[in-house]
Structure 1
């Protein structure tokens, strides 16, 4: 009987304690009394000017985004280098690393009104225009003997637009043209092509190019990443203006969904 009384007291104390400390501080998650929002320490600091902290946050996030882009660009250049010298085993390794990088979720830490770093490609820049036309000229040369080298020249010029003139109004078109170069039978770099198709519609969500459809097709036909294919086909249905491509997108979506994707 005595044991039961002691156990009852312990349970009662534990229950009351949990009830009294049922909440957590919204900042540091320390346990606080129910009905409060902040612990004592955070209450003293909650009115502190956060502008300096916000500035630091934006700088760190900008560094992360820049580092991601530099890493991806370096891998793309490495793939191109190995392709140029015919080192296929290392091409496969670099492509595998790029594929893994592209699958890492890139979380958006800032809200739309906070993130002011996104570039809008709306400026008419003469240097970018010249590079774009030059790149297209090389891309369209049909001489089979020098086709691959001409495509390499085209890729270098188109990539320079994205690296040096991302605010140019031809940047999204340059990304699309570059994606086609990487997808061509001379390169068959499908991870690279997907990246630049996506870059196209990220730079210009209203692009006339069927970039979302082409990204979906590359995921579907070449990379066999059917979940991403479904996601991009769905986006293509909302934006693509080409009736033939829309018909095919609907057909592939139906087929992939029937397979459980």
Structure 2
């Protein structure tokens, strides 16, 4: 009986802890500020503490389910182990929004100077999942790839794979099942910030996103100009030159 109750507590822990924190600070979820208008920065909103608690609750919820699954496997209770595993799968399928990018995206100052075999293996595993499958299998594989790429950045921030990893994350976040364009744009930026000589079209894809979805034409213009001065691919340079002309007229 106690074990069954504990399973219920685990499932509700993250939500209760977050809501309790909001109430304790005098902020009601229904009274929270509405989302900022598209394309506007949100760095001055009073949401920082709430988002930090949300991220901590997510991490604790996942870790508790993983520990519970391991406990049941160790004790031979495969039925409850399956429950925990199924709940973990559903948790990972949720489209979790970043809310504050500076809290979830590594800084542009990382330097990936080392060939680390463990990081290389994580990258290889992630690429086995990325863009493979159909329907729900495709979506699940994108989530699996995302988790592995994020694990690489967390565990091996000095790996020479971080730039390529940032590009792959940008591609994942731009497309289904995520469609998180601000998240994608900043990872494309990290790709060429961490490796200015990257062979990927990260600058072009970042500029397109800032222009089309984030309404940050000034920043897009800066990146288009950087393409002209840093890249040699004729098609990329041609598009960048055309965009510089168009956006300069709109200023």
TM over 0.5: yes
Q: After the TM superposition, which residues 15-30 of structure 1 pair with which residues of structure 2 at under 5 Å, given as runs?
A: none
Report the counterpart of residue 94 of structure 2 in structure 1: 85
Cα distance, 1:82 vs structure 2: 8.7
Paired residues for 1:176-195 under 5 Å: 176-195=167-186
Report deviation, 1:86: 6.1
Q: In angstroms, what is the RMSD of aligned CA positions?
A: 3.2
Cα distance in 1 between the residues matched to 2:118 and 2:241: 40
1:156 positional shift: 0.7
Distance 2:226 2:139 in 1: 32
CA distance in 1, matches of 2:110, 2:95: 36
Q: Does 1:215 align with 2:206?
A: yes
Q: How many residues align?
A: 167
> Helix, strand or coil: the match of 1:223?
coil
Instruction: Name the counterpart of 1:126.
Output: 117
**Residues 183, 82 of structure 1: alpha-carbon distance in 2 compared, 3 angstrom cutoff:** farther
Contact 2:139-2:176 at 8 Å conserved across structures: no
Q: Report how far residue 241 of structure 1 moved.
A: 2.9
**Are 2:128 and 1:137 equivalent residues in the alignment?**
yes
The Cα of 1:218 is off from its aligned counterpart by 0.9
Q: Specify the alignment match of 2:137 in structure 1.
A: 146
Q: TM-score w.r.t. structure 2 length?
A: 0.58
1:198 maps to 189
Q: CA deviation at 1:217?
A: 1.0
Q: Which has the higher contact order (CA 8 A, sep 6+)?
A: 2
Confirm whether residue 159 of structure 1 aligns to residue 150 of structure 2: yes
SS of 2:240 mapped into structure 1? helix
Q: 1:240 to 1:144 in 2, by over 3 A?
A: farther
Structure 2 segments unaligned to the other structure (5+ residues): 1-47, 60-89
Task: Structure 1: state its 5+ residue gaps.
Answer: 1-66, 109-117
Whether 1:232 and 2:223 are equivalent positions in the alignment is: yes
Q: State the partner residue of 1:13.
A: none
State the structure with more CA Rg: 1
